[in-house]
Structure 1
Amino acid sequence: MERARSTTNSGGTVSEVEFEVRDAKYPFVGASEAEACTFDLAEMVPRQDGEYAEFFNVTGTEVERVAERAEEYETLDATVLREWDGGGLVEFAVAGDCPAMSLAEHGALPRQVRSADGVGRITAEIPPPYEASTVIDSFLDDTPEAELASKRRVDSVTPIFSNVAFEEALRVYLTDRQREVLEAAFDAGYYEWPREATGEEVAEGLGITSATFSEHVHAAERRLFSALLSGSGDE
């Protein structure tokens, strides 16, 4: 997986931007206000058909209550992955009405999404060849409820995982078949923004059906992110 080893930006500096969102129509904002809890985005993964899977660590409330509140939103499905005292890990499958998703579609890389007591903050990196001003303007046109809080230049794109943690998690938590499918998807550009290969194309290269590919890749993602992001270490 050579893509995971590239953490520097050789094409120029990266713009880091931060937006504030207070509108309760966004689930991570509305639920944090209603439950007086905190949401922290652990990872965001593109799915098929323009959807994204967002993995949130929730603290300050029972995570099942968050999943129940998610039923109020037509563009969201929630799945509880882990529970612990005063919180848990929940997966949001989103198809719209998500500012982090909108930023990703415009070329930004969401790095931190946090909401506490109804105030959401999104930090993202905008790498070349995207123009920061264009991405910001386009995002604010699509998400008028958001406000630009800050903008600065940084020297490199932040890696999501360390190489050691990434490789160890793959070895320990995934089956051989799950790792094969996940690596094929990764190497084909399935996780790039914009996506370089569809699930159907990756499945064809592996000689499996699209449904089988989705089953394997989703199971692998859930096991990997649940292990790395829950912080429990009990598996």
Structure 2
Amino acid sequence: MPRANLAVSLGDEWAGRLSRRHPDAEFDLVAADPNGTDGYQLVRVRATDPDPAVAAMRDARGFRSLSVVREGDTAALVRFRAAYPLVLFALSREGIPFEPPLRCRDGTGSLSVTAPDPALSALSDRLGEYGVRYRLESLSAEPTVDAPLTQRQRDVLLTAVEMGYYDTPRDCTLTAVADAVGTAKSSASETLHRAEGAVVRRFAAAAEAEPSDNGG
């Protein structure tokens, strides 16, 4: 299927307002489930000092249940509930999965979309209907990466990585990951287990395909 890289204008949405107010910061939307007009989202804020941008999120209109899941010197992971960026809503309306991240910087968002030609055409019409201006950065005939994970597995796995679940020692618990993605602990555990299995199998297949170097 074709893979398109898009640059979209974020307008007066939270991502547009905040990224224009803090042009030195990057807001990466790494998890969202846009089945409605708003819901829980997970954003990684990256900057030389992310604290001002995070403080602006706390003060901005439209944010609910905001909490800092993880913070460091140059990045912070923030969970909140707010209206989804229109581009995500458009993807959902056309049945196209969101492929994180939606990278927001200085009022512009960039993301990759993989879908059949008719769906991409319908997405273009939908964005026009919503008044979202966009630019096609590139279009390839096939995805550049053959992802072995479902969208949900990707979301939960990326969230766990961002929160430090796979760090040594671990920086967060499975319960914290489940809370961040809005699911039960047992469901998060099963999803991670399936994702880990898929990643390990893909790694093993790639390793077996590599030429052997046994010195002989």
Same fold (TM over 0.5): yes
Query: In structure 1, what residue type is equivalent to 2:185?
Result: R
Distance 1:100 1:45, change over 3 A: same
Equivalent residues of 1:43, 1:56 under 8 A apart: yes
Match of 2:119 among 131, 144, 154: 131
| Count of aligned pairs between the two proteins | 167
Q: Matched residue of 2:95: which SS? A: coil
The answer as to 2:47 corresponding to 1:41 is no
Q: How does 1:105-184 map to 2 (within 5 A)?
A: 105-111=93-99, 112-126=101-115, 131-154=119-142, 158=147, 159=149, 173-174=173-174, 178-182=184-188
Which deviates more from structure 2 when the two are superposed, residues 118-127 or residues 149-158? 149-158
Q: Which residue of structure 2 aligns with residue 102 of structure 1?
A: 90
Unaligned runs of 5+ in 2: 167-171, 193-216
Q: Matched residue of 1:100: which SS? A: helix
TM-score when scaled to structure 2? 0.58
Query: In structure 2, what residue type is equivalent to 1:123?
Result: S
Which deviates more from structure 2 when the two are superposed, residues 79-88 or residues 16-25? 16-25
The structure with the largest alpha-carbon Rg is 2
Equivalent residues of 1:40, 1:56 under 8 A apart: yes
Identity of aligned residues (%): 18
Distance 1:44 1:120, change over 3 A: same
Distance 1:23 1:125, change over 3 A: same
Q: How does 1:185-224 map to 2 (within 5 A)?
A: none
Q: Which residue of structure 1 aligns with residue 46 of structure 2?
A: 59
Aligned-pair distance for 1:107?
Answer: 1.5
Equivalent residues of 2:18, 2:57 under 8 A apart: yes
Q: Which residue of structure 1 aligns with residue 77 of structure 2?
A: 89
Equivalent residues of 2:37, 2:83 under 8 A apart: yes
Aligned-pair distance for 1:122?
Answer: 2.1
Equivalent residues of 2:70, 2:77 under 8 A apart: yes
Distance 1:124 1:180, change over 3 A: same
Query: In structure 2, what residue type is equivalent to 1:179?
Result: K
Aligned CA-pair RMSD: 3.9
Query: In structure 2, what residue type is equivalent to 1:117?
Result: D
Task: Detail structure 1 runs of 4+ shifted over 4 Å in the superposition.
Answer: 165-170, 181-184
Distance 1:27 1:106, change over 3 A: same
After superposition, the C-alpha distances for 1:3-34 in whole angstroms (9 at most, x for unaligned) are: xxxxxxxxxxx232222223441222332221
Aligned-pair distance for 1:139?
Answer: 2.6
TM-score when scaled to structure 1? 0.54
Distance 1:54 1:178, change over 3 A: closer
Distance 1:153 1:92, change over 3 A: farther
Aligned-pair distance for 1:85?
Answer: 0.7
Query: In structure 2, what residue type is equivalent to 1:124?
Result: V
Equivalent residues of 1:140, 1:147 under 8 A apart: no
